Amino acid sequence: MIDLALPDMTDTASSPERENLLTLAPDAALERLRTWFSARDEPAYRATQVFARLWSRPVNAFADMTEQPKALRDALAETFDIPRLELATRQTSTDGTEKFLYRLHDGQLIETVAIPDGDRLTLCISSQAGCALQCAFCATGAMGFQRNLTPSEIAGQVRELRMLEPAILATNIVFMGMGEPLMNWKAVDVALSLLNDPRALGIGARHITISTVGILPGIVALSERPEQFRLAISIHAPSDALRHTLMPVNTKYPLADVIDAARAFDRRVTFEYVMLGGVNDQPEHATQLAALARDCQAFVNLIPLHPGGSLGFTPTSAAVIAAFARALRTRNVETAVRRSRGLDIAAACGQLRTERLGRRLPVAAQDHSEVHVA
pLDDT digits (tens, 9 = 90+) for 4-50: 444 444 444 555 689 999 999 999 999 999 999 999 999 999 999 99
Q: Bridge-partner residues for 123, per DSSP?
A: 114, 173
The pTM for the full model equals: 0.89
Residue 304: pLDDT band with limits 50, 70, 90: very high
Burial of 289 (0-12, 13-18, 19+ CB in 10 A): buried
Q: Which of 98, 111, 160, 180 is catalytic?
A: 111
Q: What is the largest CA-CA distance in the chain?
A: 71
User: Can you give the three-state secondary structure of the chain, one letter per residue?
Assistant: CCCCCECCCCCCCCCCCCEEHHHCCHHHHHHHHHHHHHHCCCCCHHHHHHHHCCCCCCCCCHHHCCCCCHHHHHHHHHHEECCCCEEEEEEECCCCCEEEEEECCCCCEEEEEEEEECCEEEEECCCEECCCCCCCCCHHHHHCCCEECCHHHHHHHHHHHHCCCCCCCCCEEEECCCCCHHHCHHHHHHHHHHHHCCCCCCCCHHHEEEEECCCHHHHHHHHCCCCCCEEEEECCCCCHHHHHHHCHHHHCCCHHHHHHHHHHCCCCEEEEEEEECCCCCCHHHHHHHHHHHHHCCCEEEEEECCHHHCCCCCECCHHHHHHHHHHHHHCCCCEEECCCCCCCCCCCCCHHHHHHHCCCCCCCHHHCECCCCC
Is the model more confident about 15 or about 57? 57
What confidence score (pLDDT) does residue 139 get? Answer: 80
pLDDT of residue 348: 54
- The catalytic residue among 131, 135, 296, 349 is 349
Domain 19-81 has CATH 1.10.150.530: yes
pLDDT of residue 287: 98
Residue 173 has pLDDT above 90, yes or no: yes
In this predicted structure, what is the pLDDT of residue 365?
36
Q: Residue 368 has what pLDDT?
A: 35
Domain 86-367 class in CATH: alpha beta
High-pLDDT (> 90) share of the chain, %:
80
Q: Residue 259 pLDDT > 60, yes or no?
A: yes
Averaged pLDDT for residues 211-237: 97
| Per-residue model confidence (pLDDT) at position 76 | 98
Active site residue 349: yes
Where is average pLDDT lowest: 8-17, 154-163, 303-312? 8-17
Residues 110 and 127 sit within 8 Å (Cβ to Cβ): no
pLDDT band (50, 70, 90) for residue 355:
low
Q: Sketch the domain layout of the chain as residue ranges.
A: 19-81, 86-367
